[in-house]
C-alpha cells in the first residue's frame, strides 16, 4: 500500500545544486511517497488535494537533507589516549607511528576485540552521528591488516546497518599501514594481502569502494596505483588519503583514476588543483584531523573554489588523528579553521558528501526523486548548524519518510 505524507509548516534548505542561499524555501511543504520525495515547494502550491493526505506539521522548523559522514574509521578496538598525551608533550604523529604506535597499535586492539565488542563500540559512535542528523556513514577497514581481520571489520560495518536506520557505505582500506609482519616489505603486503583480500571481500559483497593511505609512513603512489588497478578490474570506485602530511602527488593519482574523492589535502599544491578539478573528484576536507594534529598548513581552499571543485566535510572519526564522532563539530571546525562558509560546510555534509560516495541525486539534496532522508532542526537558520558547538539542535530525523 502506498505510504504518503505531506510535511507542512517548515522552512526547507534543499541544498540543490546551483541554487543560491542553501536553496532555501520559506513556508514550504514536502510530499513524500514510499520513502521518496514526490514534490517540494511553497505550501500554497501543493499539487494534490490536501484533504486526502496524511499531513504532519513541522511547526515552523528547518528541514535539511539528512547529513552524510563520507569519511570515517568508525570500527576499531581500544583507543589511543596515551598517544594524545605523548603528542601534547611534543611527539609528532609520524614519530609515534614509526616506533610502532599509531595505526598499528589500533590494529592490535582491533584484532583482539570480539565481533560483538567491535559492534558495540562502533554503535556508540554511530549513535553520536545519528543524534547529529546523520543518515549515511562511510566506514573503512584498515585496522585488521590480515585478509580475515579486514573482512571482519567490514562485516561489523554491515551489521551496524541492521541495527540502526542508516545506510552504511563500506570501503576497503587494507593499504592503510604496513603491518609489523611485513615490515620493510610493503610491496609483498600489497601482493599477498591487500589485493587478494580485496578480491575475496568484493566477492562477498562487502566492498563499495577502495581507499589507500599515500604517505611516507604508509604507501607510495606506485603501490597505491596497483591497488587502484585491482579495484578497476573489479569495477569498484576508488578514493585516497592524499597529501595529509606531505605532498606525494596522491591527489593527481586519484584524479587519473577518476576517484570519487581525495581526502585530507592539506599539502595539495595549489598548482595541482586544475588537473585535479578536471576529474570531477570531490575534495574531502577533514578538519578534525587538522585540529587534533595541530596542523598549520591549510588545504588550498581558494584554488579549490576557483576551479569549482566540490568540497565535502567529514569527521574522519578514528582513534588516532580524529577522535571525533560529531559531524556538526566537524562543520564548525571547517568554518573556523578553513574559513569555509556555513553554506559550504552544509553542502559539504549533504550534496557534496553524497557525490563523494557516488550517491548523487539519491541522498544529500531535497529534490524530486531523492530519498526522503531528512533532518528536522530546532534552529531558525541553516548557518546555526555550523555555529553551535557541543549539543545537537536536531529535533528528529525522517528516514524513508517516517520518524526514525
Q: Which stretches of the chain bind Fe ion, using CB under 5 A?
A: 316
State the nearest-atom distance from the C-beta of 340 to ligand NIG, in Å: 19
Q: Are 262 and 284 in contact (CB under 8 A)?
A: yes
Nearer to Fe ion, 216 or 341 (CB): 216
Cβ at position 384, least distance to Fe ion in Å? 28
CB 100 to ligand NIG: min, Å: 13
Q: Which does 239 bind (CB under 5 to 8 A by kind): Fe ion, ligand NIG, none?
A: none
User: Which residue has the closest beta carbon to ligand NIG?
Assistant: 320
Count of residues making up the chain: 404
Contacts of 290-294 with CB under 8 Å at 24 or more apart are 290/266, 290/333, 290/337, 290/338, 291/322, 291/333, 291/337, 292/321, 292/322, 292/323, 292/324, 293/87, 293/93, 293/321, 294/87
From the list ligand NIG, Fe ion, none, partner contacted by residue 355 (C-beta under 5 to 8 A by kind)? none
Sign of CA dihedral 66, 70, 74, 80: negative
Element (H, E) at 230: helix 221-233
CA distance 128 to 170: 19
Query: Which residue lies nearer to Fe ion by CB, 208 or 316?
Result: 316
Taking CB within 5 to 8 Å according to partner kind, which of ligand NIG, Fe ion, none is near residue 289?
ligand NIG
Contact of residue 8 among ligand NIG, Fe ion, none (CB under 5-8 Å per partner type)? none
Q: In 125-164, which positions are buried (b, 16+ CB within 10 angstroms) versus exposed (e)?
A: bbebbbebbbbbbbbbbbbbbbbebbbbbbbbbebbbeeb
Q: In whole angstroms, how close is the CB of 288 to ligand NIG at the nearest point?
A: 9
Q: Which does 287 bind (CB under 5 to 8 A by kind): Fe ion, ligand NIG, none?
A: none
Minimum CB–partner distance for residue 396 and ligand NIG (Å)? 31
- Give the residues lining the site for ligand NIG (CB under 6 A): 73, 102-103, 106, 213, 241, 244, 289, 316, 318-322
Report the partner that residue 171 touches, choosing among ligand NIG, Fe ion, none (CB closer than 5 to 8 A by kind): none
H helix or E strand, kind and range, residue 214: none
Nearest distance from C-beta of residue 173 to Fe ion, angstroms? 8
Amino acid at each position: 500500500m502506498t505510504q504518503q505524507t505531506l510535511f507542512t509548516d517548515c522552512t526547507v534548505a534543499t541544498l540543490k545544486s546551483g541554487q543560491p542561499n542553501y536553496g532555501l524555501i520559506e513556508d514550504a511543504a514536502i510530499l513524500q511517497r514510499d520513502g521518496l520525495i514526490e514534490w517540494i515547494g511553497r505550501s500554497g502550491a501543493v499539487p494534490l488535494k490536501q484533504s486526502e493526505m496524511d499531513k504532519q506539521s513541522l511547526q515552523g522548523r528547518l528541514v535539511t537533507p539528512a547529513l552524510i559522514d563520507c569519511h570515517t574509521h568508525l570500527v576499531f578496538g581500544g583507543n589511543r589516549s596515551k598517544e594524545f598525551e605523548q603528542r601534547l608533550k611534543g611527539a609528532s604523529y609520524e614519530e609515534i607511528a614509526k616506533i610502532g604506535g599509531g595505526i598499528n597499535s589500533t590494529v592490535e586492539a582491533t584484532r583482539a576485540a570480539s565481533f560483538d565488542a567491535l559492534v558495540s563500540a562502533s554503535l556508540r559512535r554511530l549513535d553520536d552521528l545519528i543524534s547529529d542528523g546523520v543518515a549515511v556513514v562511510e566506514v573503512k577497514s584498515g585496522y585488521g591488516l590480515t585478509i580475515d581481520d579486514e573482512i571482519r571489520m567490514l562485516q561489523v560495518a554491515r551489521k551496524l546497518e541492521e541495527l540502526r536506520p542508516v545506510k552504511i557505505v563500506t570501503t576497503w582500506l587494507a593499504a592503510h599501514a604496513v603491518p609489523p609482519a611485513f615490515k620493510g616489505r610493503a610491496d609483498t603486503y600489497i601482493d599477498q594481502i591487500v589485493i587478494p583480500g580485496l578480491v575475496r571481500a568484493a566477492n562477498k559483497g562487502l566492498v563499495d569502494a577502495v581507499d589507500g593511505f599515500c604517505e611516507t609512513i604508509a604507501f607510495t603512489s606506485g603501490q597505491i596505483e596497483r591497488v587502484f588497478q585491482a579495484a578497476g578490474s573489479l569495477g569498484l570506485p576508488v578514493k585516497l588519503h592524499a597529501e595529509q602530511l606531505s605532498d606525494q602527488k596522491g591527489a593527481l593519482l586519484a584524479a587519473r583514476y577518476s576517484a570519487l574523492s581525495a581526502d585530507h589535502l592539506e599539502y595539495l599544491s595549489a598548482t595541482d588543483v586544475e588537473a585535479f578539478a578536471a576529474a570531477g573528484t570531490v575534495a574531502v576536507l577533514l578538519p578534525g584531523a587538522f585540529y587534533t594534529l595541530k596542523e598549520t598548513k591549510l588545504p588550498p581552499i581558494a584554488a579549490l573554489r576557483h576551479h569549482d571543485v566540490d568540497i565535502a566535510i567529514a569527521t574522519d572519526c578514528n582513534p588516532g588523528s580524529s577522535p571525533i564522532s560529531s559531524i556538526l563539530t566537524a562543520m564548525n571546525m571547517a568554518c573556523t579553521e578553513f574559513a569555509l562558509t556555513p553554506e559550504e560546510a552544509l553542502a559539504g555534509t549533504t550534496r557534496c558528501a553524497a557525490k563523494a560516495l557516488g550517491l548523487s541525486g539519491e541522498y544529500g539534496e531535497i529534490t524530486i526523486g531523492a530519498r526522503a532522508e531528512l533532518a528536522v532542526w530546532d534552529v531558525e537558520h541553516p548557518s546555526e548548524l555550523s555555529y553551535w558547538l557541543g549539543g545537537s539542535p536536531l529535533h528528529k530525523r525522517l528516514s524513508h519518510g517516517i520518524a526514525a
